Chain A
Amino acid sequence: MAKKISTKPGLPSKGRPTARDAATQKKLVGLADTVARNALAGKEPVIHVPTRSKSNTIWNKKRGILEIGDAKQERQLFNLNQAKQFMQTMIHASTIKDLIELQKTASLRSVFYKAKHTVAGTKENTFDTQDESDPILEDLEVSLGALREELHIFAENRGTLVGNLTVIDRGDEINARKQGSGGWGIPSIVEPDAIQFKKCEAKFVLHVEKGTVWNRFNEDRFWEKNNCILTHGAGQPPRGCRRLLQRLNQELGLPIICLLDCDPWGHYIYSVIKQGSISLAFESSRLAIPEAKFLGIRAKDYRELHLPEAARIDLSDNDIKRANEIAAYPWFEENRRWQSEIRQMLDNGFKMEVEALIGRGISFVTETYVPERLARKDWLE
């Protein structure tokens, strides 16, 4: 989650609350009503929060995405471990209600600051760090069944796009072909009412893991030469980036090709792009791209491409543990090719980053590696 204050203006504050806002308001009031009713009736106040854990994540094989199960946690006031979270949930509920009423959006960081104060009569803070605040907001999203943007909250912009595409970003036309070396920052909220696609010649999207790799591709005008869109998500892509990729895939029918590191982290990024994450399983249908493809780096590349020894980074114990965990996820378990890919990486005993291909030349990755693989359709799914 974003950790810095973002001063980016939110949704237009002009105008009256939309119908969506009214629905969210209703949900918030309903939550408060339930707690108040229980309290006044002498019953224990409880908030039901759908469980966001692996155990309550269901692998929908048919749709190819992760979905959240029915399990719900009771957040109790009169439970020593939950009392504070209960209070925090209620405070955030009231914060969000204010945002909607004022027709403002706020960053995760500003919401944290808005809700942070000392509990009356004590020296204790309602929230000590943003790390406490962010999960509470996710809890509210899932228990209210409202999207983050419906709660008028956004995260810091993360992820960059460039390519043969023109979009309308809150009324401003953005020509993604003319974004220089920096690219267009993908906003946190990319819903159709904020972002519309105007024109697109690209045939596919190449999503790379991080900005350094993206810079290489942009400098080499890869998107121009190969008629595509080039994105990165600064590691694990944030929701805005994932949502945009999904819209490009679903609305424009563009294949999403991922170029990620050959390590458990890269594998998991692919997994999140493809079928959704555990913590945001409730949003998978909005975020997951079951058709996404994993182009590389592949475990076999070290030998196939005769990479120098410098390309290798030994797997740590933690990496091995993580790799085994990933291999055991239901959505990987039945995928024989993925099983052998992970197995091969473990057999190698090392991981490789995309940048390691520089051992074969600075633009080897843009001029040889990716075009060849694309031509051979040599990818994992």
Chain B
Amino acid sequence: MSTLFAPASQPVSLAPYAGDMSPKPRKATENSLALMDPAPGERATPAGSISRSRTDSLPIANPPRQRATAETMATKQRDISVSEFFAKNRHLLGFDNPRKALLTTVKEAVDNSLDACEEAGILPDITVAIEDLQPDRPAATKSSRYRITIVDNGPGIVRKQVENIFGRLLYGSKFHRLKMSRGQQGIGISAAGMYGLITTGKPMVIHTKPKATAPAHHIELAMNTKTNRAEVTVDIETDDFPVRRLRDLSSGTRELTAQGQFLADEAYVTGTSVSIELEGRYQRGRGSVDEFLELSAIANPHARIVFVPPTRESGAEEDEAPLLKGKRGGAVPSSTGVGTTPGGIDPGGKGVPPVQHPTPQPSQTTELRGVTIFPRAVEELPPETKEIQPHPRGIELGILLQMLRDKGEGSLYNFLQEQFSRVSSSTAADIVKRAGVTTRTRVNDVDHALAEKLFKQLQDAKLPPPPTDCLAPIGVRQLLAGMLKGVRAEFYAASSREAAVYRGRPFQIEAAIAYGGELPADEPSRVIRFANRVPLLYQQSACSSFKAVLDTNWKNYDLQQPRGSAPVGPLVILIHMASVWVPFTSESKEAIADYDEIRKEMKLALMECGRKLGTYVRKRQKMRREAERRDVFERYIGEIAKAINDINGTDPKKVYEALLEQARARTAIADAELDEDGRVRKQEQAEASDEDGVIIIPASFPQSMAPHHRPPLGDAPPFELSNAEAAAIEVNARRGSDEDDLSTTRVSPAKKSATQPLAPKGNARNKQPGRQSPSPAKSTAPKPKPKLRLVGGKLVPVDNGPQLF
């Protein structure tokens, strides 16, 4: 794992390169073959002679020959290097198969980059490129050789730490501390490098530039798995950062480079790039690099991520639909699309405040000639997290003994206060007293019996829960921004729980849901899981979060839920756990262990979202009923006006308008209720976009919402309408990339002579700020309360009229 800020305390081994690391190295494993020694009998032993004599007398019997002695075995007993262990057990680290290996490599590198950027206070700009090194292989080939390059704009790595960070397993800054970060164990990136080395024999290539003014380092290194040390083969200074070669990978990268959007020098003032060649398999769908990056973009709306996929996929087994429909193939016109994506680029790079858009807008993911850009959706970094001391509730007796031994001196009274969080001086005095000693007792006087007493007192003491400033939840607003960016739905809700504690470690659960829109309506809902902002793509059913989804009774929120499974409907569920130490079920960090405390919090967060959704679903049903009611009235008004005109000659338009107005007033009740619920956002709220964690995109209501959608008038008006009225038609223009992505544009009649607003129906929305009354007659009518809706992060007034008539 990245150890960008680790103290350089560990000695660096520069032992000679162990030689050939062919794709299937077996040398390192020889020691494990002891029992298979081909000629054990040659080493004569007394036991051996006995067995021979027995063989003579009893030719049939063939008793077990003693093959080794304690001594012979002892010659083969030695340390197992951690690298050797994991080289053999690479599935523990997520390198089970070529496809997953590709993903894990990208994931470890991206996690490190994000951690490093955040720790240095830099808005992350990360480029991921996967090059297919065997582009001409037969189509059915399942795997291929790839070069994965991840470039970040982080703080860079000082020269002397490079070998440790990339060339050793279990070396890192994050293992020993209680601080929230993506990486934890110090395994990931070096394991990826090791996997590459094992499968291709190629070293990792690292470019790092810790100083903006100094040249970058170009280092190539390979891990010696026997010694768990890096062996450097190339170590030169270079000014080739960010690596220029990548700009020429494809037509897409060339075009983006020309626009200054791809690996721009000014965006990568400092930073690191890592290239690993490995045997892998690139295929889209569930559990793919694409999905990982999509989800990372959701959980890290402050990051900009650019992805250059390989030119072709590997031979297919099965393919699943990608999460984000409509993204692929919806290529944006290159001249404007990407360029106008707001907030997409941070031209200032690190430190420099980015060129501010006054209202940051959640931007949509875009694609240009194969290159995917996940733009930055918010311009603030997550708050910096603090490192904390362990909470007494979270330790065990052995750990306490070890801590006492490590401390070695000073008073027990001070030890308790310094080494634990939430132990005040009075609590410390109390604990000491209850354990039967005094505040002056020294640490090195504590024997095992006293330690046990102390441990018991620590567990029983009344302590506040651990501090929570060590946690940086994604935040309701950012969650919504991330969901908006990635999921095309009509309703979004998010909720963030208060911090809670499991085993003395603080954690915090956040949940978000997206509903409706383009999501498939009759499939089990999708569950997206994150731990410390890292997407978890495998082992869903083993994960506490998925169990929490199953535990939640979604029927309460008007959703279908077959027994013992996830709810069925157009729903995406997101769960994020932030903690100083996420309890994963394995080193590959794919599922969160099922602690009761964690599952309970997850369930509560889901229920909060569910309640919001339930209200919305019911409200929507009510609105639909109201819309039908409204529609019934409206249908008949024209006929009535005409009939009255036939009988007594009253101006039909006047009657029509008057009745229309009454119908509008009567059906406005439903809309007013919406206001009360805070559904339709007020101006100030919309800037923040989510005060109560709900966003509704009304344009993605299915058209069926408006029953009896009236075709453009013209052939059979109830009475003579003006041309302008008949011409008032709406055009639903769904546009790919602009900020107002889900807009409905109304084509207004050219003539202004219309005297009554028989305008478009349905959920037409007016893009222009401020309603313009198209007719004098309308302006005399009491104006309905202007309503506003959030569209692409921007507030637009909604013309109330066309909704009804």
Contact = CB atoms under 8 A, between A and B. Distances in A.
B666 A119 contact: no
A91 B635 contact: no
B710 interface: yes
Given A80-B632, A121-B717, A44 B640 contact: no
A54 B642 CA distance: 35
Given A77-B640, A78-B633, A120 B716 contact: yes
Contacts of B646: 94, 97-98
Interface string B595-638: 00000000000000000000000000000000001001101111
Contacts of A33: 648, 650
B291 interface: no
A36 interface: yes
Nearest to B712: A121
Given A32-B650, A77-B640, A122 B635 contact: yes
B647 interface: yes
A39 B658 contact: yes
B648 A122 contact: no
A42 to B, nearest CB: 7
Contacts of A98: 646
Given A42-B658, A86-B636, A121 B710 contact: yes
Interface string A338-369: 00000000000000000000000000000000
A120 B639 contact: yes
B638 A93 contact: no
Interface in B702-742: 708, 710-711, 713, 716-718
A98 B635 CA distance: 24
Given A36-B655, A39-B655, A83-B636, A121 B711 contact: yes
Interface string A96-120: 0110000000000000000000111
B721 to A, nearest CB: 9
Nearest to B713: A121
B644 interface: yes
Nearest to A115: B643
A172 interface: no
Contacts of A42: 658, 661-662
Nearest to A118: B716
Nearest to A123: B708
Contacts of A122: 635, 708, 710
B264 interface: no
**How big is the A interface, by class?**
20 to 34
B635 A124 contact: yes
Contacts of B659: 39, 45, 77
Contacts of A39: 644, 655, 658-659, 662
B456 interface: no
Nearest to B718: A120
Given A32-B648, A84-B632, A122-B708, A94 B654 contact: no
Nearest to B666: A78
A91 B655 contact: no
Contacts of A91: 639, 643
Contacts of B654: 40
B135 to A, nearest CB: 57
Interface string A217-258: 000000000000000000000000000000000000000000
B663 interface: yes
Interface string A71-86: 0000001101001101
B638 A120 contact: yes
Contacts of B658: 39-40, 42
A272 interface: no
A36 B647 CA distance: 11
A126 interface: yes
A218 B646 CA distance: 50
A35 interface: yes
B635 to A, nearest CB: 5
A32 B643 contact: yes
Contacts of B711: 121
Nearest to B650: A36
B636 A84 contact: yes
B623 to A, nearest CB: 15
A90 B644 contact: yes
Interface in A24-75: 28-29, 31-33, 35-36, 39-40, 42, 44-45
A357 B642 CA distance: 58
Contact of A119 (B629, B636, B648): B636
A31 to B, nearest CB: 7
Contacts of B640: 35, 45, 77, 86-87, 90
B647 A121 contact: no
A40 B716 CA distance: 24
B655 to A, nearest CB: 5
Interface of A: 28-29, 31-33, 35-36, 39-40, 42, 44-45, 77-78, 80, 83-84, 86-87, 90-91, 93-94, 97-98, 118-122, 124, 126
13 contacts: A32-B650, A36-B644, A39-B662, A45-B640, A78-B662, A90-B640, A94-B642, A94-B643, A118-B716, A120-B718, A121-B638, A122-B708, A124-B635
Given A121-B638, A126-B639, 16 more contacts: A29-B648, A32-B650, A36-B644, A39-B655, A39-B658, A40-B658, A42-B662, A45-B640, A83-B632, A86-B640, A87-B640, A90-B640, A94-B647, A119-B718, A120-B717, A122-B708
List 6 A-B pairs, minimum CB-CB distance, nearest first. A32-B647, A94-B646, A87-B636, A90-B643, A120-B718, A94-B643
